[in-house]
Amino acid sequence: MISIQREGQEKRELKYNNDNCVGCGICSDVCPTSSLTLDCLLPEDNEISKTDYISMDESKCVLCGLCSFACPFNAIDFKIDNINGSNLSEYPKWSHGTNVNPDDCILCGKCELYCPRDAIFVKRNLPKLKDLVRGEQIKEVEKCITCRICEEMCPSKAITIKTKDDTGKGKFQTEAIEIDSEKCMYCKICQKVCPQSALRIICTTCMDHEEIVVPPIEGDVILDKGRCINCSWCENICPTDAIHTIKPFDGKVLLEENKKEEKVCTGKSCHLCYDICPCNAITLSDNSMTVNQDVCVLCGACEKVCPEEILTVDRTLMNLTNIKSTSWQQILKSLIE
């Protein structure tokens, strides 16, 4: 965490959070005082550095906040008098984002599984087993020889054999056979494996099926908007079309190889673009890379890290509005030219 703070007529504060940073370098591209630097992302071991992507020169920074408003990934916080810049009406506003419609969501959890940033958590309240199955348990403790086969074989771990020592010689006798009704499925495995027929299980689920009402599966989808980069993996994978995403940019990534200058993609032998991509949009073969444009957020991190300089991020639209400063308009315009 890097932080700069100054006080005058108003208190201004800038904080950089590397956990949310994707290494795109947009902030350094737009900084009017060149106080931000995208650090080298090509260490000697040919892997992406895990240290801070951005360096700040506090002596140059004028705390204008442009880097914070240009960053689509919530990596830089800018505050004036302890008010976050996103809440100030006179500053730019991003219109991108991800929304989940709870009415259409079935809480399947696929969005959580596919999210490349671990920004989605699906919380489910599932029905209890005892509300879905019915039956009767008949236990004859006097027949039990404490072999515990039923306890070991029970697939739902619902059986506990309790013992006591009546002889004083360590020869334990069965005191009770406990079957947890919260776990029991009335599958009858315990009855079948018991060598002494000490257990009888009667399942009435089928007979009572019309009376058994399946409780609804309830829960919530929790979206960490700080970590979400709006890549739309969740939208693409959702089976009920419950998630909708607006990306920060429109455009595409271009691979422009030049064999005459020997600038070609080496695929898996390099893999730096694959390593840096925050949205798992890049696939590598032995000799080339391909970009899944559907989930690419056009951040430009792959372009910055490519050692052959053959990747170009061609942005055609930036979903940032309310840019009132003419100088900021010109600077931000450079991101889509």
Q: What is the pLDDT of residue 6?
A: 78
Q: What is the pLDDT of residue 170?
A: 58
- pLDDT, residue 43, reads 45
- Residue 8, pLDDT score: 78
**DSSP calls for 256-284:** --BTTTTB---GGGT-HHHHH-TT--EEE
- Range list of H helices, the chain: 26-30, 66-70, 110-114, 149-153, 189-193, 233-237, 272-276, 301-305, 326-333
Would the pLDDT of 154 be above 80? yes
- The answer, yes or no, to whether residue 205 has pLDDT greater than 70, is yes
Per-residue pLDDT reduced to its tens digit, 64-100: 999 999 999 999 999 999 999 989 999 999 999 999 9
The whole-chain average pLDDT of the chain stands at 90
Residue 335 CA to residue 303 CA, distance in Å, equals 13
Q: What is the pLDDT of residues 34-64, one digit of tens each?
A: 999 987 665 445 555 556 788 889 899 999 9
pLDDT, tens only, 109-132: 999 999 999 999 999 998 888 889
Q: Which pTM was predicted?
A: 0.79
Rounded Cα gap, residues 1 and 76, in angstroms: 10
- pLDDT reported for residue 192: 97
pLDDT surpasses 70 at 30 = yes
